[in-house]
Structures are given as C-alpha cells and as structure tokens.
C-alpha cells in the first residue's frame, strides 16, 4: 500500500537493519477515490517500526487543469531512521480517461545513509510501452492496458473498493519489470484511529504460500475509502505500521469522531429498556 524504502535496500545500506520506516510500508499507502468522484485530498500518517514511532508520511492529490497529480513525502523523524537520513518522495502526473486514471509520468527519489536512488517511468499509451530509467540506465517494456505505477495502483485500489469491484488483481510497473499483484478482502472490522472509530474494509496482498511477508491495509468507506491503517513486515522480522493522524477531503478537515468505546457504550444504552 503504501512505498518508501524496501527491506533489501535497508539491509544492504545498514547491515541488515530493516529498511527504515517509510519502507515498503509506504508502497501500501492506498490513497485515492473512485475516478468518477475524484476530489483533492491530503492525508498524514505516523510510521511505526515494531511499535516505536520512527517517521511520518504525507500524501496529496490535486488537480492542475486536465491533469491530476499525486505526491507523497516520507521521512525518518525518530531513532535510526532519523540518524540515517531516511527520505522518500514520489510523484505521478496523469489524467482521467474512460473512467480510469492513466499515469503519464512517475518519479521516485529515495535517500538513506548515503544512498541516493532515482527512478522514473514514462508511459506512452499510444505506443503501448513504458520507458523506465533508473540511475541513468534505461529499459523499455511493453505496456499492458491496466499497468500502473505504485501511486496510481493505490488510486485504482480505492476506486475498485468504492465501486465494489471484486477484481483486485493489478499489474505494477517497478524499477525493471511489470509484476502482477493480487489482493483479497478480509472480514470487515471496526477500527480505532486518531480520527475516531470507523468501520473498515481490510485488504491483504496475496503472496506465495512460502512467503513470510505480509501487507494489509484498512480502508474506511466513511472517508472515501482512505486507508486509515497499513501494515507490512515479515512474520519472523520487523513489523512496519502506518496510522492516519490527519485528513482533508476537498479542502475540508475531517473532525475526529468518538472512539469505539464511546460508540459501543452509547449503543448499549440505546438497547437498554
């Protein structure tokens, strides 16, 4: 969901200390709404590693003429992540066509303990190809009609949830390939957040049965299916978590509602004779 640093990069750069915070978690920040109802928004998350606050992430969607721009900024603010200077930024510019968001240009810049990594994807929908540039190395791949960059995938995820589309299979353009990713719905869950208590639709990435990695996100229908919590990690390793702290939809700040305990108490009182 979330897409900051990957565990491999962290391991290589910091002697097998998982890739900080913003790590792969950020890839799973699903921040978008159905294209038919798309509107500007901004959301902020706190990032935790094994239960300890380590960083922050901010994602926004804005319209510029016929184009829409999604931007994300993540940074390490505490502990090792701050010491290593962990920073990650992403940006994609695209447009709405036939009810779907089409990315035109995606760029990402990751910094960590002296590492400075750049990669970009330029989409040519007429030629049906995507040119990927990473640190001055170029490759061109045949483009599937539904292929998306990491940020656009998050937008499409929210759109499908909003439309109750059961197809949660996506094709993701990464640094050197186009990879298929599948997700599945989990049982609805009531979740406590900094913005109050929300009914959520949890989504989990489907992985190989031997994989120890997991990725889950909890989307709140009452918040246009914004992800209010995300988790990523390994069953025998680090646990990364992103928790929503602030949200603006169409320029309007979402005011915190009562917590789950308060709502459950109120519901119990209503049932009393």
* Residue-level pLDDT at 240: 96
pLDDT digits (tens, 9 = 90+) for 109-138: 999 888 899 999 999 999 999 999 998 889
Residue whose entry in the numeric block shows the structure tokens 């990650």: 88
172 closest CA partner among 97, 232, 99, 92? 92
CA 43 – CA 58 distance, rounded (Å): 6
pLDDT digits (tens, 9 = 90+) for 76-114: 999 989 988 999 999 999 998 876 789 999 999 999 888
143: its two tokens: 């483009």
CA 98 – CA 142 distance, rounded (Å): 21
Strand-strand pairing, 169-173 and 147-148: parallel
pTM: 0.82
Residue 269: which pLDDT band, with cuts at 50, 70 and 90? low
Does residue 67 surpass a pLDDT of 50?
A: yes
Which stretches of the chain are assigned E, i.e. beta strand? 41-49, 52-64, 67-76, 87-97, 100-112, 115-124, 129-134, 137-142, 147-148, 169-173, 178-185, 189-193, 196-206, 213-220, 226-234, 239-249, 252-253
Element (H, E) at 23: helix 23-26
* Residue-level pLDDT at 26: 35
Residue whose entry in the numeric block shows the structure tokens 């502990």: 79
* Residue-level pLDDT at 37: 67
Helices (H), 130-271: 150-162, 260-271
Domain ranges (residues) in the chain: 7-271
């Amino acid at each position: 969901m979330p897409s900051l640093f990957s565990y491999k990069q962290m391991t290589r750069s910091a002697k097998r200390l998982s890739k900080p915070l913003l790590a792969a978690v950020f890839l799973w920040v699903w921040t978008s709404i159905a294209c038919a109802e798309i509107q500007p928004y901004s959301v902020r998350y706190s990032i935790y590693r094994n239960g300890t606050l380590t960083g922050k992430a901010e994602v926004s969607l804005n319209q510029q003429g016929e184009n829409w721009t999604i931007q994300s900024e993540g940074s390490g603010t505490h502990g090792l992540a701050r010491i290593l200077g962990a920073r990650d930024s992403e940006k994609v510019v695209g447009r709405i066509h036939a009810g779907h968001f089409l990315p035109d240009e995606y760029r990402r810049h990751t910094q960590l303990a002296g590492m400075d990594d750049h990669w970009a994807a330029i989409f040519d929908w007429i030629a049906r190809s995507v040119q990927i540039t990473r640190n001055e190395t170029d490759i061109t791949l045949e483009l599937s009609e539904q292929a998306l960059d990491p940020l656009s995938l998050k937008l499409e995820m929210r759109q499908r949830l909003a439309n109750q589309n059961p197809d949660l299979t996506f094709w993701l353009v990464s640094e050197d390939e186009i990879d298929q990713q599948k997700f599945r719905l989990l049982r609805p869950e009531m979740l406590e957040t900094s913005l109050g208590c929300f009914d959520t639709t949890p989504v989990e990435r489907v992985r190989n049965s031997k994989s120890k990695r997991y990725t889950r996100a909890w989307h709140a229908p009452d918040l246009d299916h914004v992800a209010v919590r995300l988790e990523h990690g390994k069953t025998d390793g680090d646990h990364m978590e992103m928790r929503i702290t602030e949200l603006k939809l169409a320029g309007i700040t979402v005011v915190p509602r009562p917590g789950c305990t308060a709502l459950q108490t109120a519901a119990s009182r209503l049932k009393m004779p």
